Amino acid sequence: MKINHLYLVLVILFFSCNEKKELSSISPENWSKRGINLTTTDSLEYGKSYLSIYSQIYSYTEHKTHNLTSMISMRNTSESDTIYLLRAEYFDTQGKSVRKYFDFPIYLAPMETSEIIIDQLDNSGGTGSNFIFEWKIPKKCPEPLFEGIMSSTMGQQGLSFTTQAKRIK
């Protein structure tokens, strides 16, 4: 009887350890629901922002890395105007495009925030990953705010830090 229980526990442990973990991402369906057709493009100001992100950091030496969870926060800082995000593209350390989250206009209502999550298991960006955002805002509207929040916990230790985007155009 004890051997049967031990065997059952070992089988359960074996299959639970071999279970493939899927990387979560925000479904493209969610972005398409936020899609909008911009027809008043002449009255909107165009901008482009760069955001550094770290899906990995070095630990102990340059040969050992530690994976991080990254939350990319896209914020409309206006209390009265809707803004439009045209593109959010993720690049790896070598500057190669990893993925486009959307490359069509989406809207953010006044004071609204939308997020992109890069799971801790997704190290495709490497130690020097980054984002490019393109956006349009009404004249005299505050610029959108793009932030990266990276975090990780292991055992009883945790680390977290933030980055802020820089306007490049």
Contact 25, 117 (CB under 8 A): yes
Query: Is it the case that residue 87 has pLDDT exceeding 50?
Result: yes
Please report the domains of the chain, with CATH numbers, ordered by start residue: 42-111+119-167 (2.60.290)
Q: What is the pLDDT of residue 23?
A: 46
Q: 16: which 2 tokens? A: 């639970």
Mean pLDDT of 11-30: 52
Whole-angstrom Cα Rg for the chain: 20
Contact 13, 97 (CB under 8 A): no
Q: What is the pLDDT of residue 65?
A: 82
Specify which residues 137 forms β-bridges with.
45
| pLDDT over 70, % of the chain | 81
Report the C-alpha gap between 90 and 131 in whole angstroms.
Answer: 5
Whole-model pTM: value is 0.79
User: Residue 92 — very low, low, confident or very high, per pLDDT cuts 50/70/90?
Assistant: very high
Contact 85, 100 (CB under 8 A): no
Q: For 27-56, what is each residue's pLDDT tens digit?
A: 665 777 888 888 765 689 999 999 999 888
